A = this chain, B = another copy of it.
Amino acid sequence: MNPELVYRSLLTPLTFIQRNAKVYSHKVAIIYQQKRFTYGEFTARINCLASGLRHSGLEKGDRVAFFCFNTPPMLEAHFAVPLAGGVLVAINTRLAPQEVAYILNDCGAKFLFVDTELANIIRPIQDSLETVKHIINISDIAEFAPLEGEDYEAFLQTGNPEPVSWVITDEMETISINYTSGTSGKPKGVMYSHRGAYINSLGEIIETTLTPDSVYLWTLPMFHCNGWCFTWAVTAIGGTHICLRKFNPSHVWKLIQQEGVTHLNAAPVILISLLNNRDCPPLLKTPLTITTAGAPPSPTLIAKISEIGAKIIHVYGLTEVYGPYTVGEYQADWQDLDITEKAKLLARQGVPYIGADGLRVVDANMHDVPADGQTMGEVVMQGNMVMTGYYNDAEATERAFRGGWFHSGDLAVMHPDGYIEIRDRMKDIIITSGENVSSIEVEQCLYRHEAVLECAVIAIPHPKRGEVPKAFVTLKEGVEITEQELIQFCRQHIAGFKCPTKIEFTNLPKTSTGKIQKYLLRAKEWVGFEKKVFGG
């Protein structure tokens, strides 16, 4: 008997379900369409899946891939896979077949669980999967033909609902691998530890004020950083998950009102589509907390959200830090500010979460930039909420961890009050005549023009100024405007050196997740040139 076990138990999300299987056995854990699972039933299904995986030959550390929507099996996997001793790989459902093949081979998945609606993505690559030994179909909708393989519900029957004993012995073991979206090359497998997932889950509970009464709606995909760890956090607090196969604004409003949803997470672009939907109620009956990330919420968005009686929390993070890492923590003295002022403060990415220990904005020599709200530097992070590394890629890990800090690649300023504000992705910054121009700032200016539907600004080489901004713009349908008119518009709003010198009207290249691939735009422009590195 190791006496340390008395007072040092493993930090792992597995404790969450172990506790709530008892504490909330009769409480509803998951609502999905007409189905309701209590914590007791949720746990039984988790145990079935975990023991089923072991019976099918899962060995400790094996990767188990899930390629499916926000349905109950995806939630079950978040506990069952690590309980069995495996490592969960939740794959983005919007990826193209070759991208999925790359991920499955890179992580060496032994099991692949697929929603039958996505079977057509797998079919063309099935022969190129080097390690997958078991394919299990999640037949959520009957009309889709399954792949050759087992059926999810039948697979659960191969296991049993009795408690499954843990096999982890170290809280630093890997619980999941999440692939980056790869806006600049091959996706990388970001490894999360049990300890990190545990600490981050408690952080989410505290920062977004989850309670046992919380009803959380799954608008955020669970394949994004394990749903920003809310898969574990909502379970930890004993709240209710509302699963959501597909995002549809009218349906989301219906669920919010019908089930008394208290929390949801989504990017501003999703929130805009929600608020502009005709089913958006004038006032919510239940207080709703919306946590947003990916871009700063605009003053209009913030105003609209408080109008309907909801609260917005702005957070920032990356796949490499388990999702959210900083939060635009409200200060009591912001209360009396007008909406524009408040929105300006709330648009900042903020301060570290409880549990997020290290956050700095540094120059190329790892010195902190002055906290003047002006000087840009790279955001670096350290501590329990940072990934343990990239799977099977020691070189990329070492590069990301240089100087003992994780390098985010994001450029920010540090405000005098300790709040960070992201100015740009590091590789997107434009360095013109020695001045740094944030591509985001130029894009935000362009977006203010009513003719602009979408845009992307990049640096292009210039013989004298080093680099200059160039904009790629998609106009709204039926609208016309000239390059010079749009440049003139920018000149009225931002400094001359920040204005695009060229504008190209075009469609923008995007990843399957909808992110603009600036590197493809840059590639064309930089043939024969070498791009400067910020701060280098």
Q: Which residue of B lies closest to A333 (CB)?
A: B26
Within 8 A of B (CB), among A1-35: 1, 3, 5-9, 11, 15-16, 19, 22-27
Q: Does A534 contact B (CB under 8 A)?
A: no
Task: List B contacts of A387 (CB < 8 A).
Answer: 7
Q: Give per-residue flags for A389-414: 1 if the beta carbon is below 8 A from chain B beta carbons, else 0.
A: 10000000000010111100000000
Roughly how many angstroms separate A388 CA and B209 CA in the complex, as a whole number?
31
Task: List B contacts of A24 (CB < 8 A).
Answer: 331
Task: List B contacts of A417 (CB < 8 A).
Answer: 25
A244-252, A350-358, A454-462: which lies at the interface: A350-358
A175-183, A378-386, A497-505: which lies at the interface: A378-386
Q: Which of B6, B23, B27, B333 lies in contact with A404, CB distance below 8 A? A: B6
Roughly how many angstroms separate A406 CA and B5 CA in the complex, as a whole number?
10
Q: Which of B8, B205, B212 lies in contact with A172, CB distance below 8 A? A: B8
Known: A7-B386, A9-B383, A386-B7. A354 touches B202 (CB 8 A): yes
Interface size class of A (residues with CB under 8 A): 35 or more
Q: Does A483 contact B (CB under 8 A)?
A: no
Roughly how many angstroms separate A205 CA and B211 CA in the complex, as a whole number?
11
Roughly how many angstroms separate A5 CA and B355 CA in the complex, as a whole number?
14
Task: List B contacts of A357 (CB < 8 A).
Answer: 9, 15, 19
Could you tell me the distance in whole angstroms from the C-beta of A314 to the nearest C-beta in chain B?
15
Q: Does A287 contact B (CB under 8 A)?
A: no
Q: Does A349 contact B (CB under 8 A)?
A: no
Could you tell me the distance in whole angstroms from the C-beta of A99 to the nearest C-beta in chain B?
27
Q: State whether B332 touches A213 (Cβ < 8 A).
A: yes
| Residue with the greatest number of chain B CB neighbours at <10 A, chosen from A27, A236, A354 | A354
Could you tell me the distance in whole angstroms from the C-beta of A414 to the nearest C-beta in chain B?
10
Roughly how many angstroms separate A382 CA and B9 CA in the complex, as a whole number?
8
Q: Which residue of B lies closest to A351 (CB)?
A: B23
Known: A212-B330, A384-B11. A401 touches B6 (CB 8 A): yes
Task: List B contacts of A351 (CB < 8 A).
Answer: 19, 22-23
Could you tell me the distance in whole angstroms from the C-beta of A41 to the nearest C-beta in chain B?
16
Roughly how many angstroms separate A401 CA and B388 CA in the complex, as a whole number?
34
Q: Does A193 contact B (CB under 8 A)?
A: yes
Known: A6-B405, A7-B383. A418 touches B22 (CB 8 A): yes
Could you tell me the distance in whole angstroms from the C-beta of A19 to the nearest C-beta in chain B?
6
Known: A6-B382, A354-B237, A357-B15. A404 touches B1 (CB 8 A): yes
Q: Give per-residue flags for A251-275: 1 if the beta carbon is below 8 A from chain B beta carbons, else 0.
A: 0000000000000000000000000
Q: Does A63 contact B (CB under 8 A)?
A: no
Q: State whether A237 touches B206 (Cβ < 8 A).
A: yes
Q: State whether B209 touches A211 (Cβ < 8 A).
A: yes
Q: Give per-residue flags for A169-213: 1 if the beta carbon is below 8 A from chain B beta carbons, else 0.
A: 000100000000000000000000101100100100110010111
Task: List B contacts of A106 (CB < 8 A).
Answer: none
Q: State whether A25 touches B418 (Cβ < 8 A).
A: yes
Q: Does A329 contact B (CB under 8 A)?
A: yes
Could you tell me the distance in whole angstroms from the C-beta of A232 to the nearest C-beta in chain B?
12
Q: Which residue of B lies closest to A238 (CB)?
A: B329
Q: Give per-residue flags for A301-345: 1 if the beta carbon is below 8 A from chain B beta carbons, else 0.
A: 000000000000000000000000000011111000000000000
Q: State whether A388 touches B7 (Cβ < 8 A).
A: yes
Could you tell me the distance in whole angstroms from the C-beta of A317 to the nearest C-beta in chain B?
14
Q: State whether A8 touches B330 (Cβ < 8 A).
A: no
Q: State whether B5 touches A382 (Cβ < 8 A).
A: yes
Q: State whether A3 touches B401 (Cβ < 8 A).
A: yes
Could you tell me the distance in whole angstroms from the C-beta of A357 to the nearest C-beta in chain B?
4
Q: State whether B331 touches A27 (Cβ < 8 A).
A: yes
Roughly how many angstroms separate A16 CA and B16 CA in the complex, as a whole number?
23
| Residue with the greatest number of chain B CB neighbours at <10 A, chosen from A24, A195, A236 | A24
Task: List B contacts of A358 (CB < 8 A).
Answer: 9
Could you tell me the distance in whole angstroms from the C-beta of A213 to the nearest C-beta in chain B?
7
Q: Give per-residue flags for A212-248: 1 if the beta carbon is below 8 A from chain B beta carbons, else 0.
A: 1100000000000000000000001110000000000
13 additional contacts (CB under 8 A) given A9-B358, A9-B382, A202-B206: A6-B401, A8-B383, A11-B199, A19-B351, A19-B352, A19-B354, A22-B418, A27-B332, A202-B202, A202-B355, A209-B209, A212-B330, A236-B354
* A residues adjacent to B (C-beta < 8 A): 1, 3, 5-9, 11, 15-16, 19, 22-27, 172, 193, 195-196, 199, 202, 205-206, 209, 211-213, 236-238, 329-333, 351-352, 354-355, 357-358, 382-384, 386-389, 401, 403-406, 417-418
11 of the cross-chain contacts (CB-CB < 8 Å) are A1-B403, A3-B404, A5-B404, A7-B196, A7-B382, A7-B387, A9-B383, A16-B354, A19-B351, A202-B202, A213-B332
